[in-house]
Structure 1
């Protein structure tokens, strides 16, 4: 079941010019200031998400409702944009906006209750294979074995730090799992009202260019469209605005995926950046990323086809450093997500 995720808080009040409110209308900027909120603004869709603590209210120019915490709809007269660039709402809508922040403030913080770690490939699918002759000795590496070792190391560290969280590996041994099985396992997890989850798939890279090396983290391109909401789980009121709700949740998952990817990349940079190149954040619609209905990323730990990097990947100390970097990135993301306001 899809649950709301934490909003990226960005102050972007410059786009919403403050103007004197009329008798019938109230400037949305003054409302945001009044409730002490901060704004994430999409200038293309003219959509704003106002966040204060763990309460969020979404509004959009031309759309006749407020959306509280990505789940509760309040019908209003649609916000509109004036000629001077300011966004205004009716005074009745303004009262509703204030009441959404004044009442029913959640007492519990959102938390990451479930972490899915997906070691790529397995069984009949070895993934990428690197074969080298080094100092007269043959070195052969299979992706499926490397990523399973690293995934297990990450999971062990996470379980020690977060004994109360549900930490799941899609496979724990050398077995084959179809891509559909991996995402189905993740999407079937039931979450509570204040809970969220994340998905990370771990892989090793390969290239025809044997000089290619380094680590990178991938997330789903923001322009990719996916169906997150299950219409059968929506009430009648939500079904009428399902495309808008789906778009809002999709944007939130994209934002959180980028934040997650950055934390993991930074963690790996700190742990192995002196011996392996940081290739940065990447965008691609990998199957497991685009079909996981939650913030999701794909980590590439290095190139098995590069002789020097293959030697590193054949060392347990280097694998431990990779796992520590990934672990530190996950912890940094989780701590930030769950931090108290």
Structure 2
């Protein structure tokens, strides 16, 4: 009988040690990988994550980031999507194009909202599925606010001058609901750039909201001063289409650029005008070419991507500055020529003929 109990005790001890060893191994093993992660298997051990061979850059550019988020969304990997959006929303890093990573989060949420609205056509509702997989997702609160914002525009209809008083009241009411929904967010979500970006988009609508767009903007850039997203929203707010003027846009871009001049030179002047390139080519803005030229020089000194160099050359052609055009073209290697990055109506071939190159 003693041998029997001794044997059982040994078996229990062996089993407990095995369970402990499994727990240790599980603790050392990372969570499920993203589907594009092709690193060796041993990179899944937490102890190896920071080694040179195992370092991963899941979000190397805006384009790749959006495509990877789109793949997670479209294939219904909502647990992984939640993790990805959390990584991006809480990151302080900017993407190479100057956008905050929150921009990619916002666009993904926009696409989810669009898919939700056409659920009957595509055969399923991604937001409902997401909620079933991650019921406590904080991002679903953001999609709720975005849906209310869209609903406001549906109720409003056309341009302000054509809107009936009743529609205007419903528009303001739904905007107020969208703002209230955002204000229900937990502190951790309010501390993200994407929350500020969505609030700014709602605040600039004006009617029915308590948030002042200027205050929302200043709070955002105080925390994320180099995030181009917030500046671009304010440019839209100050533009003629919303009752502003190109003079106001110029004053804003000039002031914002000088606020960052100590670290960014005047690069933001070029970055922000480049974001409204079509308006520039139509000759409708108050852009100052001397400042724009300096802005591009400072931009390229900090970001030598081929896309930026091509933009510089096309703007120099638009400004009919042959000297600067020649300088800009001289920085572009043959394999770096990107026709799609040139301003509309200003191709490399046409500009080269004009400049006699």
TM tier relative to shorter chain: under 0.3
Output the TM-score relative to the length of structure 2. Answer: 0.22
Output the TM-score relative to the length of structure 1. Answer: 0.23
Q: Which has the higher contact order (CA 8 A, sep 6+)?
A: 1
